[in-house]
Amino acid sequence: MFSYPRKSAQRYEFSIIFATHNQKLNVLYTMKVENPLKKDMLFGLIWCVLGLSATYISYYFASQEGSSFGVFYGAVLWGIYQFCRGYLPYIRQLQASCDMQAFLRWTFGGLCVLLAMVVLLFGSLGFIHPKESLMANPQTVEYPELGVTLNYPVGFAELEQEVMSETDSTYAYYTIYTYDQTYAYHVEITVRNEPDTTGVEDMFEFFADNAFIETDSVVAYPEIVRVGDKVTVRYIRYAKVDSLMVVCHDMLHRGNLVSLYTYAMGEALDSLQLDCADDFVRYYMELR
């Protein structure tokens, strides 16, 4: 029977242990660094980050300039697919290895990453379809004591109304705010009770003074225009603080001041915004 000398046997045993340990290190290194499943997850995460970053950056600059923007949902969806293609097999691999601590850690972490990607994706799609839904039915606001009726057709958001009573320093007034897919509309009725004032011509100087606000710049100076059966003082302002173009209509009715403000994002007025503001006065406002 052949036997190793003691020193040789110890050296051989050490070689076996070292080789086995080295093999384990190689396996761990392969799983941690060279595992293609982890690469899929990493590239999927990169695609999602790039797509979402491009979407939010595009929306930010578009909101500042009033221009169009891009929603890169294709890149985000591809990133989610790529991440899942690596994540699901890797979880099964960890489960088969009976490493429950790593399995639970990766399961929880991966689900959190997936949830974050899906939430951000739906948030970016909300730029196209805002969660505030537009009404499918027409809306009407009537103030019989003032002789004012506002008729909002289908496609406007639910009206936000406010009534302020008269005080020692302010008139009573009514405000109605809403918006459609393109513009926001703010109607304000100030109860002045000045029946001797019969037309906007009598208060043109007052309206002209209203056009100038310290924080705004006047784009088009006040002028008296006829819109349908109504005579208004119309002017256009640029609100610097909110980066909004504002088309203003001031009218007198029964000695009260009726004002319409039409808002749009951007630093330049297009003819469509002016037409929409005039059409609101022409078709949606009834003064009796």
At residue 142 the predicted structure's pLDDT band, cuts being 50, 70 and 90, is: very high
Name the residue ranges covered by the structural domains of the chain: 35-125, 139-287
Q: What is the pTM of this model?
A: 0.54
Q: How confident is the model at residue 6 (pLDDT cuts 50, 70, 90)?
A: very low
CA angle 32, 76, 49 (to 5 degrees): 60
Q: Is the pLDDT of residue 30 over 60?
A: no
Residue 102 class from Cβ within 10 Å (0-12 exposed, 13-18 middle, 19+ buried)?
Answer: middle
Cα 276 to Cα 179: distance, rounded to the nearest angstrom: 12
| CATH topology (fold) of 139-287 | Protein Transport Mog1p; Chain A (3.40.1000)
* Angle at CA of residue 100, ends 90 and 82, nearest 5°: 15
At residue 200, the pLDDT reads 66
